[in-house]
Amino acid sequence: MPRNGSAALFLVLSLAPPAPAGEALPQPDARPPAIVGLAVERSDGQYVASFRLESAFDAETLGKIDSGLEVVLDYRIEVVRRRRFWMDDRTVQRRVLASTRYDSLSRQYNLLLSVDAQVERSSTTDKPAEMRRWMTEIHGIVLGPVSGFTPPGEFAVRVKSDFPPRFVLFFIPWDRDTPWARVPLAPAAPDVHDAGR
């Protein structure tokens, strides 16, 4: 029995896809995904948002990436105007898509980031850790001119990530979307690009 077990383990390991560029393959995240570190700053007269998605890569997602399928992480960013005794009014909506596709021949991850269906930037890497950062650390998403949010104390920025539904027992939907992360759009000091003008 031990000899058969060793043979089975060897077979599983030998069939596993090779780690890109000598690095260990990423391990799946165990916790539910969540948006963290949401921050809004001023840059060149614009408000820009940055945030991070934690626990985005479960075993199924990593399996898709390793097999060469395209994987897309879908983010929604909204600026809302807070109204007392009524629903918040959405004044800005952005949709950010971060995608990766692994090429097993070149052992490179092809990376793409789009905002509102327009390509913002693209890159390639052979490092799984860099691919993860690209997919989950979103920086500098323009929300609009500072002058368009007056008074800023009435506005807030919120972000969430939408995941395709999973099904338990093939027919019970399991929603994996993150909760909304939210920060107030507080008055800010002049940004570094404005200093000295």
| Predicted pLDDT of residue 126 | 97
Would you tell me how many other CB atoms lie within 10 Å of the CB of residue 56?
19
Phi, psi of 145 (to 5 degrees): -65, 145
pTM of the model: 0.76
pLDDT digits (tens, 9 = 90+) for 20-67: 444 455 565 667 899 999 999 999 999 999 999 999 998 889 999 999
38-42, 108-112, 127-131, 173-177: lowest mean pLDDT where?
173-177
Are 99 and 71 in contact, with CB atoms under 8 Å apart?
A: yes
User: How high is the pLDDT of residue 29?
Assistant: 61
Residue 197, pLDDT > 50, answer no
CA distances from 25 to 17, 21, 60, 125 (A): 9, 10, 14, 14
